[in-house]
Structure 1
């Protein structure tokens, strides 16, 4: 008999699996990140007569990373490109191969190793994909379930939206939104706006409009083009992060028989003679191996790096690569680990500014005490804001494409009409430095490329997933992307010219003016990660053309195995991946539930 909700809540230990003890469940989810937490929770809630286990290599970020994960202001901690800028309790410590598009640099690529995954570590930015982007997925998969109107209920399902509290935000920092785009109010994840915004953001509408962009109605109606404030995933009462660990996993574990195996790593997937996934081998810190068996399905939700790696070490992937490491080939799928798509951050146009920087409060007398008091009293003040909060998505005006090569023009012309080329982020950058000298208070227009042709890949360097895979990120590999990057800087300069509080351009500086000089600056000092990798287990119709899973995320060539996370998107979103990953997981979790009910 299942224990009552109240009783199981009191006995929290009932929510955890017994490590090193073999066990059998109906469903096993590998990875309790953003997608895995949703999938495990939805299955456990919808199928109370089924048993569910979720296995996660990390633990609770509230313990492993404390306030740095929970307080929005610190969301960029341990996410930078430098080798020392990672925290091993919550991060895998993945480093890229030398990046040709970044002058041969090797960079840290942050990936969450914690319950909640990227939802526990990102900058909490939420927006949806575009109608054209979803239409492109429907076309690639041959499945109209991915058309915008069909996906919209799944976009809404996870969330509980709260309008911005203007008691704490200045009137000229109000946000545009249409409440009907968020009209489902009982989702477990909180979505709102911070109770503080940098004063620079109040100049955003004026500057972006002067450059020809239009106001956008909240980035949630299928059209990203335009400017505005984006909502973020935070609890509006206390301004703490609202992650899938808090909203889904912990809540569901207390109310169902779902078991969480935390600090446990799946080493490989097991198959029977009929190529059906029957379970997984697991260890805790490499010790005490045990087996979890699956009666129904194994669902891999380990992210765009580790999902393809797990498939490959388990015998699913390009035959040549598997045989090189003496891995028995279960399903020869050339697309596993290929087709890596990302949204490169190519840096920013930085200006001096006659407003306080983002971190100016930290320099003021009693600044920390005042900010802490505001935050602890009512969740307001600078600690409530995760990073920048104002941005615009844009397709290049004609003058920016006139001198591009024909191949680049053709690529841009072939994109859906609502697919933006670049995201421009307005930021009060903080007290910055260039070439080792202080620049004082600065503001910037950052550039994220949202339409690119370059592709990277994930490949093995061992038959064991205890050894990190090789990450070829592929930024700016193509001539098209290099031309788009240069045009993005020129467009950012135009936007920056309309920000009235901006002074002199400090970075890259007015002497960097030719296409060659701009591209050299981007490669040597601009390009870095923003952590939007996807598509390494891409959806599609034909495994001979690179598809790894079908439109319901079922892996080709085997049975009882799905991949549900950003790796199974056929291409990354034109912007940030959080919003589309929520919808992706909700839709595919329902596919799993429907399949179980139909039996």
Structure 2
């Protein structure tokens, strides 16, 4: 049983993930603020979270995630896709591949142009730097004093080096810093790790904050709804240890439950499209048509090769001695294979449809991946993951019922825009070109996906429809923008329209997808919002 010594706090934060843990750490720096952080999942005690290579097994850990699936997707052969989302301290930052990517300045200038004033590149860059504890120290683009450790990989597979070496053979650059001024090309990712271990927001932000007496943490606590009285968010109702409890927020409720759960909680609280709320028997507090709309995600397809070379990470009797040796190397030195995030290398490239900036991203895996790692893959191989960075298709999150423990309806509408199909097809062709580079000749590999029979656009598209999956970057369902826009959910201060004392602070507020992994941008959003809150409540 978790004992609650108080039920009134200045701030209540819903969700201890990438944004929520960041907010909790920053707000409790002011010892005048009392903060309650509520997490639906448990503590991040699994060793598979902290050992980077454990990533390969996390998708099988049903106790660490929400275990969501999408609605059948009409453009993907009516398949329902598995959508892993973290349900544990650190949220998805405890489950992700640890790639530290911010996007490009144009992404944030676009937000500003779309009505999210004050979120342009020049304004957000200081918050990326503030969050960062960069291995190479402070520079014009990087920070060194933050909570989030960012470092070079301690181990990289020879196949990953081969992938990076292929760049110059096919007319791409080698990139040493994907968060520098020019990121088009191939290179190794920097990762959110410290001393060979994952640095989630639970590890980086929350661990030091938990020593502060003004922070109360509740785990395995499911928020039923936000209490809203006369247009003011006054607290939350939650389930804890089988009991229904109400907590009061003297200053603000901060909703950081992610792109799926944040709109769900808003709707359960009476904030959302009035017709949809009425259909579910929910009393409308504020009619906000944009709640749950504008869902965007990066769709991913793998160009997969098999080979006989044993450099790849795989399950094989022949590799047991290597793994035993590396177990001791990790335990005593924090070195070797187990420090790898598996997705060691990658890059950014332009299809024929790109404008000024790259429109696809690669993640190279020196391994065979099946069903997000939930199915055991035997044998040796490697693959290039390709995702279209700026999809034009838009999906939605809806309620399935008015019960908080019933999963929401997730409908991404993948590939419904024709341009998204074209980008993915050309992305597959470009990935094939990389794997056909001379540097890969020594592996004598053969393509198994799409396979040599898929050559036309129609054949490649058929392969994409049959095999593509999410690469775990949902955003946009509580869109930030100009309050005169009927689809805007939060203003530029992340305050929910027409409600006092309530903000949404997570990836759901992004008006559009950034060109890359979404974890670092989500942390940046929370860093900046913490400053906005501190300024307002001096």
What range describes the TM-score normalised by the shorter chain of this pair? Answer: over 0.9
- Cα deviation for residue 359 of structure 1 reads 2.5
The 3-state SS of whatever aligns with 2:175 is coil
**444 and 89 in structure 1: CA distance in 2 versus 1, 3 angstrom threshold:** closer
Compare 217-226 and 587-596 and name the one that shifted more.
Answer: 217-226
Structure 2: distance between partners of 1:34 and 1:217: 26
2:106 aligns with one of 132, 138, 141: 132
**359 and 247 in structure 1: CA distance in 2 versus 1, 3 angstrom threshold:** same
Q: Deviations over 1:541-567 (max 9, x none)?
A: 036441110111100011110000000
Contact kept in structure 2, 1:422 and 1:447, CA below 8 Å: yes
- Cα deviation for residue 353 of structure 1 reads 5.9
Contact kept in structure 2, 1:17 and 1:260, CA below 8 Å: no
Contact kept in structure 2, 1:352 and 1:506, CA below 8 Å: no
2:456 aligns with one of 474, 498, 514: 514
Matches within 5 A, 1:75-474: 75-79=55-59, 85=60, 87-143=61-117, 145-163=118-136, 180-181=139-140, 183-221=142-180, 223-236=182-195, 239-273=196-230, 275-284=231-240, 287-352=242-307, 354=309, 356-359=311-314, 363-396=318-351, 400-401=352-353, 412-413=354-355, 417-418=356-357, 420-430=358-368, 440-474=379-413
**38 and 208 in structure 1: CA distance in 2 versus 1, 3 angstrom threshold:** same
The 3-state SS of whatever aligns with 1:279 is strand
Contact kept in structure 2, 1:342 and 1:532, CA below 8 Å: yes
Contact kept in structure 2, 1:158 and 1:187, CA below 8 Å: yes
Contact kept in structure 2, 1:91 and 1:112, CA below 8 Å: yes
1:556 aligns with one of 497, 500, 505: 497
**97 and 329 in structure 1: CA distance in 2 versus 1, 3 angstrom threshold:** same
Matches within 5 A, 1:34-73: 34-45=18-29, 47-62=30-45, 66-73=46-53
Structure 2: distance between partners of 1:369 and 1:350: 26
The 3-state SS of whatever aligns with 1:75 is helix
Matches within 5 A, 1:577-588: 577-588=518-529
**32 and 362 in structure 1: CA distance in 2 versus 1, 3 angstrom threshold:** farther
- Cα deviation for residue 482 of structure 1 reads 1.1
Structure 1: distance between partners of 2:522 and 2:140: 17
Q: Deviations over 1:480-536 (max 9, x none)?
A: 111111111111111111133353222221111111111111111x20121100000
Contact kept in structure 2, 1:454 and 1:477, CA below 8 Å: yes
Structure 1: distance between partners of 2:88 and 2:463: 35
**260 and 252 in structure 1: CA distance in 2 versus 1, 3 angstrom threshold:** same
Structure 2: distance between partners of 1:448 and 1:314: 35
TM-score with structure 2 length normalisation? 0.94
- Cα deviation for residue 442 of structure 1 reads 1.5
Paired position in structure 2 for 1:546: 487
- Cα deviation for residue 276 of structure 1 reads 0.5
- Cα deviation for residue 296 of structure 1 reads 0.5
Q: Deviations over 1:147-194 (max 9, x none)?
A: 22221110011221224xxxxxxxxxxxxxx96256532222221122
Paired position in structure 2 for 1:566: 507
Contact kept in structure 2, 1:199 and 1:355, CA below 8 Å: no
**372 and 362 in structure 1: CA distance in 2 versus 1, 3 angstrom threshold:** farther
**361 and 385 in structure 1: CA distance in 2 versus 1, 3 angstrom threshold:** farther
- Cα deviation for residue 329 of structure 1 reads 1.0
Uncovered stretches (5+) of structure 2, i.e. residues with no partner: none
Compare 180-189 and 200-209 and name the one that shifted more.
Answer: 180-189
The 3-state SS of whatever aligns with 1:98 is coil
**353 and 590 in structure 1: CA distance in 2 versus 1, 3 angstrom threshold:** farther
The RMSD of aligned alpha carbons is 2.3
Q: What is the number of equivalent residue pairs in this alignment?
A: 532
Q: Deviations over 1:331-351 (max 9, x none)?
A: 111110010010111222425
Structure 2: distance between partners of 1:579 and 1:386: 16
Q: Deviations over 1:66-119 (max 9, x none)?
A: 22111111113243xxxxx4x332111211111223211122211111111111
Paired position in structure 2 for 1:173: none
**218 and 22 in structure 1: CA distance in 2 versus 1, 3 angstrom threshold:** same
